[in-house]
Structure 1
Amino acid sequence: MAEENKGILKTAVVAIIGRPSAGKSTFLNTACQEPVSIVSAIPQTTRNAIKGIVNTSFGQLIFIDTPGYHDSEKKLNLRLKDITESQLDDIDCVLYIIDSTRQTGKEEDLTAQLLKNLQQKTVVAINKADSHLSKPIPVRQFIKETLPEIPKDRIFEISAEKDTGINEVLRALYDIAPEGEPLYDEELYTDQDLTFRVCEVIRGEAINRLQDEIPHSVYVEVADIEHRNEGKKLWIRAFLCVERESQKGIVIGKGASKIKEIRLAAIKKLSEIYIQKIDLDLQVKIDKNWRQKDYTLKKLISDN
């Protein structure tokens, strides 16, 4: 890729759009080669517009990983839909990721409708092409019918998990990106602050160890972060917040086994991101029916 660069730098803000579990967060982490966004088999784990930054000799792509576009009237899901839609207002490019192992239907059609007026700056990635369940031909037909102005040379079959076809997608985005100087320092791969990253890491480790409805009922509140031992240690006190007393017992687990498992996994992941030694005090508390509280949703979910 670098050999073809003629010295003209390009910079683009790219919104990643797709249904829940299409592979948006996996693509972002693979492209950035860093754990920027939560990856889980559980749908709708992304709750914010999360930025991941890719720097190459062609320039800079600032990806915004949006919540999976989901047809639901629940207050939390409506808020997530608003976040996704708002990211399409001031972007340079769109990466539309489609899961090739699932049938297109009403939800996929609703997602595609978001891009009707953005086809000239959209690149399509047909994900999970390596799966034996992959059906790329029906997906291509769906794209041809619903988004006919997207040229064939901007439609790619990829595997975000196995890093197949990612460079071709990046190159296609650079091709339609405007010229411009980088917006972020080339050493950065995300603009997330410390508190947000800690929350996301803990939540990610929690939801991947919980079942049924519990993952969607959890959020993380960081009560305190202190730099100790002359900056060599990060001491963190955080709470896994759930909606009901019965959920609290499940998250804690028998003999506090589950909360210990989550805590240790979070410490390990945070230690891979930060050079300081991590000391995490993790507890569970109840915020009754928080998914119905406008104040809590506004605090937790933002489009910045």
Structure 2
Amino acid sequence: MTDFRSGFATFVGRPNVGKSTLTNALVGEKVAITSEKPQTTRRAIRGIVNRADGQLVIVDTPGIHRPRTLLGERLNNLVEQVLGDVDVIGFCVPATEKVGPGDRRIAESLSGYPRAKKVAIVTKTDAASRDQITERLLEVDALREDWASVIPLSATAGEQLDVLVAELIGMMPDGPPLYGEGIVTDESLDDRIAEIIREAALEGVRDELPHSIAVTVEDIAAREGTDLTDIYANIIVERDSQKGIIIGPKGSRLADVGARARAGIEPLVGTRVFLSLRVRVAKEWQRDPKQLGRLGF
């Protein structure tokens, strides 16, 4: 195979600058869940972009933040580990918000990863005026002198995504594809289902609750003689009061979470789904090393 490039890229930035939305838009399929809530992404999720001239493996990471719990520390450590391994780091700033101290801190921290090329990405241009986009491009450009390029784009409107992919593939080392054709993620089915359920559970909950929600999948089995898949999963929270919020009056909220999650899971498994959700309490799991280990952090 001649002139083929392959390698790893990751997007960094404050929580909610559109990193997961951008990953999904580039892959062309939902591999990372999205939510308005901070710290929605908790693992390094790989999305794979295949082009004729190269393969781009995008590692979607949690937003960099000041940790308040052991989980928060581990998420930041995960980001640092990924940044040390990738070929290109894309630094994301939304066009709709002025560059702030958090952005500056993250941009400066990229000097700690000299191996990776750095690209500045101004996201959410569809929601910004032309003046805002121009202002943001100037602000971002001034943050570092070593940007390999500065690209404005909109993941939701699909604007300039091809420009970004071409730039990123051009910065990758020569090499064969790292994943087989047609593979869009290395996430297991269990993990993807757990994330879809967590995304549904995050919708509409109060600000303090999102961090406390985790999901585990107990069992996935095809029901004999039907086109139905049975899935049993647990939604885990830290306190009894949170359990009540998730379940809702007479179970109404949990039923709503189940309906939303099922709509996301059925295209993934290719059958109709019977989804059984139980809400369990694991006291202060974000601060407990044993429980974090059991939940895969």
Report the TM-score range of the alignment, normalised by the length of the smaller protein. over 0.9
1:76, 1:291 within 8 Å by CA — same for their partners in 2?
A: yes
> What is the rounded CA distance, in whole Å, between the counterparts of 1:159 and 1:33 in structure 2?
14
For residue 161 of structure 1, report the CA deviation from its aligned partner. 1.4
Q: Counterpart of 1:3?
A: none
**Contact conserved, 1:220 with 1:241, CA < 8 A, in 2?**
yes
Q: Secondary structure at the match of 1:89?
A: helix
User: Does structure 2 retain, via aligned residues, the 8 Å contact 1:48–1:301?
Assistant: no
User: What CA deviation, in whole Å up to 9, does each residue of 1:250-289 have, x standing for no partner?
Assistant: 1101111000000111111101222132111111111111
2:193 aligned with 1:201: no
1:266 maps to what in 2? 261
Structure 2 distance, partners of 1:278, 1:111, is 42
1:65 and 2:60 are equivalent in the alignment: yes
| Counterpart for residue 136 of structure 1 | 133
Most deviating of 195-204 and 72-81:
72-81
Structure 2: distance between partners of 1:150 and 1:231: 55
Q: Give yes or no for contact 1:10–1:177 (8 Å, CA) kept in 2.
A: yes
Quote how far apart the aligned CAs of 1:138 are. Answer: 4.0
Is residue 27 of structure 1 aligned with residue 22 of structure 2? Answer: yes
Cα deviation, residue 223, structure 1: 1.7
Aligned to 1:275: 270
Q: Aligned in 2, Cα 1:298/1:98: closer, same or farther, shift over 3 Å? A: farther
Question: Deviation of residue 55 (structure 1)?
Answer: 0.5
Structure 1 residue 29: Cα displacement = 0.7
Q: What percent of counterpart residues are identical?
A: 32
Q: Distance in 2 between matches of 1:25 and 1:271?
A: 21
Matches of residues 133-172 of structure 1 in structure 2 within 5 Å?
135-151=132-148, 154-172=149-167
Query: How much does 1:142 deviate?
Result: 3.5
Aligned-partner Cα distance in 2 for 1:166–1:299: 38
Shift of the alpha carbon at 1:230?
A: 6.5
The 10-residue stretch of structure 1 (36-45 or 289-298) with the greater mean CA deviation from structure 2: 289-298
Q: Does 1:247 align with 2:242?
A: yes
- The equivalences for 1:59-138 within 5 A come to 59-116=54-111, 117-118=113-114, 121-132=117-128, 135-138=132-135
CA distance in 2 between partners of 1:207 and 1:266 (Å): 11
Q: Is the 8 A contact 1:231 1:276 kept in 2?
A: no
Q: CA RMSD in A?
A: 2.0
Q: Tell me the equivalent position of 2:168.
A: 173
Q: SS at the partner of 1:186? A: coil
Flag the 1:245–1:120 CA change in 2: closer, same or farther, 3 A: closer
Structure 2: segments with no counterpart, 5+ residues: none
> Helix, strand or coil for the counterpart of 1:296?
helix
Instruction: Indicate yes or no: 2:189 matched with 1:189.
Output: no
Q: Contact 1:85–1:114 at 8 Å: present in 2 too?
A: no
Q: CA deviation at 1:115?
A: 1.6
Q: Pick closer, same or farther for the CA change 1:251–1:73 going to 2, 3 Å.
A: closer
Moved more, 284-293 or 222-231: 222-231
Paired AA for residue 300 in structure 1: L
Contact 2:10–2:58, Cα closer than 8 Å, also in 1: yes
2:207 maps to which residue? 212
What does the per-residue CA deviation read over 1:166-190, in whole Å, with 9 as the maximum and x for residues that have no partner?
A: 1100000011111111111111100
Distance (Å, rounded) in 2 between the aligned partners of 1:284 and 1:194 = 21
Write the letter of the residue equivalent to 2:144: L
Which blocks of at least 5 consecutive residues in structure 1 are unaligned? 1-5
Structure 2 residue matching 1:14: 3-state secondary structure = strand
1-structure distance, mates of 2:193, 2:125: 33
Q: What TM-score results when the alignment is normalised by the length of structure 1? A: 0.91
Residue identity in the other structure for 1:92:
D
Instruction: State whether residues 209 and 262 of structure 1, in contact with CA within 8 Å, keep that contact through their aligned partners in structure 2.
Output: no
Rounded to whole Å, the distance in 1 between the matches of 2:140 and 2:294 is 36
- C-alpha deviations, 1:152-204, integer Å up to 9, x for none? xx111111111111110000001111111111111110011111111101001
User: After alignment, is 141-150 or 36-45 more displaced?
Assistant: 141-150
Structure 2 counterpart of 1:35, which letter? Answer: K
